[in-house]
Amino acid sequence: MSRILLTERGTRRVRPRRVATAAAAFVMLLLLTGCAQETTDEFQRLGLPEGVTDKTPYVLDLWIGAWIAAGIVGVFTWGLIGWAAIRYRRRSDDDLPVQVRYHLPIEILYTVAPIFVVAVFFFFTLRAQEKLFADEEDPTHTVEVTAQQWAWTFSYIGEPAVDGSDVYEVGTPALEPELWLVKGETATIEIESPDVVHSFWIPAFYFKLDILPGPSGSAVQSFSITPTKAGKFEGRCAEFCGWLHSRMLFTVVVVETREEFDAHVQELQEAGQTGSPPGGENASVVAGLDDAEASE
């Protein structure tokens, strides 16, 4: 028997059985491609990458909880829509259901339910935020981060490997700088901007912080973090900050040992990158950010 049917207008229509078979094959293909452990883990995190700091569990719990809450609200809402569509559908006698213009209990529900949902989200968000931004009293490292159009400057403050000196690394839109951290060692990161609003974002850290501009030291924001996995992780500015915003990138390098970190700090010292980086008061004169190099 042919699996193609002809409609009254002579066009061909595929039998439902063929559609069902194709859909089943597609679902099976998705299941097979999702068998990898990495894919399974990402699915359990609802799309988030693997967390690599001591603070990521707080964000992950908030993320999963938000999806669960949204799912409950969605199912409840869809259920009400379906129930109303079926219960009050047009009958064969064409009589309309009873029209309710004012219904105090329903109106109270419409008002109270959203307030309750927002209040719950606010409570858990505030609790996670307090844990995320809790500063360590005695961090192993202190890093000052300056976000400027259109690159990052990382200053390592009072490092013992260079006799307590401050060393820095300056990037350009043509050359991404690196932020070095040590696995298992706490670093307090202080961020400021001398020009416009930027956003410090490291996806693998589950962390993004908007940086508001202001006079030196007046708008510094800080947080403490301890990496739990070594490797290289992408960082970027997540706030549109000008025509080279897309090139305002950096790399976070988390090393296994303190010796590797100390060697990098010493390299910065040998390169003459000690003290405060130039251009702190005016981002346009930060070394390497002149128009000629920025246009490369």
Q: With respect to residue 262, please indicate whether it lies within any of the assigned structural domains.
A: yes
pLDDT tens per residue across span 71-109: 998 998 899 889 888 887 777 767 777 777 777 888 888
- Whole-model pTM over 0.75: no
Residue 55 class from Cβ within 10 Å (0-12 exposed, 13-18 middle, 19+ buried)?
A: buried
3-state SS assignment for residue 31:
helix
How many domains is the chain built from? Answer: 3
pLDDT in tens, 188-247: 998 988 888 899 999 998 888 888 886 655 567 888 989 999 999 999 999 998 888 988
CATH of the domain at 228: 2.60.40.420
Q: Where are the beta strands (DSSP E) in the chain?
A: 4-6, 12-14, 141-148, 151-159, 165-170, 178-182, 187-192, 198-202, 207-211, 221-225, 231-237, 249-255
Full DSSP string of 115-138: HHHHHHHHHHHHHHHHHHTPPPSS
Q: Quote the CA–CA distance of 195 and 274 in Å, as a whole number.
A: 23
Q: How many helices (H) and strands (E) does the chain have?
A: 6, 12
- Containing structural domain, residue 112: 56-132
Q: Are residues 152 and 235 in the same domain?
A: yes
Instruction: Output the domain CATH number for residue 75.
Output: 1.10.287
Same domain, 197 and 162: yes
Residue 49, in any domain of the structure: no
